[in-house]
Every structure is written in C-alpha cells, then in structure tokens.
Amino acid sequence: MVWNVIILGSGCAGSTAAIYAARSNLSPLVLEGIEPGGQLSLTSNIENFPGFPEGIGGLDLVDNMKKQAERFGAEYRMENVIEADLSSPPFTIKTGQETYQAHSLIIASGASARLLGLDGEKKMLGKGVSTCATCDGFFYRGQEVVVIGGGDTAMEDALYLAKLCEKVTVIHRRDELRASPIMGDRALKNPKISFLWDSVVTDILDPEKEEIEAVKVKNVKTGAETLYPTNGVFVAIGHQPNTDIFKGQLDMSPNGYLLVHDGSRTNVEGVFAAGDVHDEDYRQAVTAAGAGCRAAMDCERFLDSQDN
C-alpha cells in the first residue's frame, strides 16, 4: 500500500495537518514519534491558544486535536521513524516496526528542548520547570524565577520574564554570556535581572512536595554548593530540531532546522515541513497549528497536480 500522505509528528503542527488532510479525503497516516503530542504534552496549562478563555491542559489540547483528525479519517500509529529514503517517489519511511511508502510527506517532527538531565528536572517538568517562558511565564507573575543558560534564548526568556516576575536570576556556567552583544546588554542593564556566574544547577527541589522551592547551585571554580530559593525554573539551553534522519537529503539551516520555500515546501518535491522542525523563532502552539494547515493545503495541491 502506498499512502497519499504520511505525517511525521503528532503535536499541533502534525495533528492540524492531519485534520486538513483528512477533510480533503487524503486518508493520512500519522506516525506519532517518540514524544506523542510533542512538547505541548509537557505543558500543564495553556492560556494563549485562541478559543480557550479558561485555558486548557497541553495534553488535553493535543488529544482533542488527535480525536478531531481521527473523526475525519486520519490514522495514528505510535511509531517512531528511524530511516527515510526521499531519493524518489514513492518515499520510503521505516520505523522500528514497519516500512511504509507515501506519495507525499509532511514532516512535523518538532524540536526537542535541551535539558540538564537531572532527576528533579524530569519529575518537575510542567510542574515548575519549564522550557518555554512565553508559554508559562504568566503563571509566575510577581514571583522569583531562575533562567538557566547564557545564550540568546536565555536572554530572551529573562527579558520576557522580567516584565512579569519580581526577580529573574540567570544562572550561567561561564563568567561571560554567549548571547549576542545587544541581547546581553539588554539583560545586564535590566534592574530586575541578576546573574550567578560560573555556576551550574545540580539539583531541583523539591519533587517530593511537587513544588519548586530552590535549586542547588555549584560554583564550577570553587566547587562550593548552595541552595538558591526560587519559585520556578526555566531551562533555556537551546532546542534541537528532530531532523537527523533527513541530513543529506533535505536542505537545513546551520542549526539543523529544515529550510522551506513557497509556503511549506522543502527542496524535495512532495515533501513539506510544518512547525518547530523549521521554525527557529516563534515555537508557539498557534504558529505550529497554522504551519500544519499550510503544509496540508500545499500537500493537497501537490497531489492534485500529480493526478492532472
């Protein structure tokens, strides 16, 4: 069997693409990937997605999108793609369980936030530990938070949080920022932002109480460890687009994000991209959903052109 379209990823971009493709009678197959629902499934409450005045849980939102797509005929399978051959149509997609072929492909595999790898971080993700300041900053209005990182992402997050929070502390392992001079200067001059230099976070407390009380900070030069009280932790050490299997086949930015043109088209005809897999700037649920819509419409037009 050759599918009309296979969609890689089941976050906002992937499921929106599935809704549009299914409503166009394309009967899409959605391969959910290693993180069903994408990063949104790790967000406890979303208040900036249109249509939900009281907010909605991230897992609830992506689950509703999946059910909506399935209602129109999309098929979801909890499989992760490990290999792809885009050299000629039909494209071949291999998972750990099956091999599939498709006339077209929508890549919505997203980008994964880089994490510290701490037990407390994993247990408190979405419960006081966040990788998205614009998503979760509102919940810390008037409180004290820490931002971990020293690049542009960390400075952007710190500056955004400074508008909402009482105090923002940036914890950075070096004695100078890696951020661009303009972003670094803005953060350094902001009176609500302070810095802990030459420091790394070695633990996040307290998972047993299911609330953030403090981070354990180690000075990399002296080895001294201290507890630093905080209400929230924002990890801002970058994102990694999930594009490794497409290296050498699809054009990418230096950071590994897929390059698109004329909407959602990649350099391979019949292959489209949507969401965080190509978006280095916005990385929001609503922009991912819009990108999924665009990719599905571009895909439908492509398939129509092949029939004519």
Instruction: Please write the tens of the pLDDT for every residue from 253-306.
Output: 999 999 999 999 999 999 999 999 999 888 889 999 999 999 999 999 999 998
Q: Which residues of the chain have pLDDT under 50?
A: none
Residue 85, strand partner residues: 92
Q: Would you call 136 a catalytic residue per the annotation? A: yes
Was domain 119-235 assigned CATH 3.40.50.10420? no
| Helix/strand/coil percent split, the chain, to 5 | 30, 30, 40
Which one of the listed residues 60, 63, 119, 136 is annotated catalytic? 136
pLDDT score, position 308? 61
Q: How many residues does the chain have?
A: 308
pLDDT score, position 181? 93
Was domain 2-113+239-307 assigned CATH 3.50.50.60? yes
Task: Measure the CA–CA gap between 29 and 293, rounded to whole angstroms.
Answer: 16
pLDDT score, position 3? 98
Q: Would you call 307 a catalytic residue per the annotation? A: no
Question: Hey, where are the domains in the chain?
Answer: 2-113+239-307, 119-235
Task: Measure the CA–CA gap between 129 and 174, rounded to whole angstroms.
Answer: 22
pTM of this prediction exceeds 0.85: no
* Same fold flag, 2-113+239-307 and 119-235: yes
Which one of the listed residues 132, 203, 298, 299 is annotated catalytic? 132
pLDDT score, position 113? 83
Task: Measure the CA–CA gap between 232 and 139, rounded to whole angstroms.
Answer: 9
Q: How many CA atoms lie within 13 A of 72 on its CB side?
A: 21
Which one of the listed residues 12, 119, 135, 307 is annotated catalytic? 135
Least Cα distance to 210 among 128, 146, 119 occurs for: 128
Q: Please, are residues 256 and 241 in contact by the beta-carbon 8 Å criterion? A: yes
Strands (DSSP E) found in the chain: 2-8, 29-31, 75-77, 81-85, 91-95, 99-107, 111-113, 129-130, 144-148, 167-171, 193-196, 199-205, 214-219, 225-229, 232-235, 239-241, 271-273
pLDDT score, position 42? 64
pLDDT score, position 14? 97
Q: How would you class 297 by CB atoms within 10 Å of its CB: exposed for 0-12, middle for 13-18, buried for 19 or more?
A: middle
Q: Would you call 293 a catalytic residue per the annotation? A: no
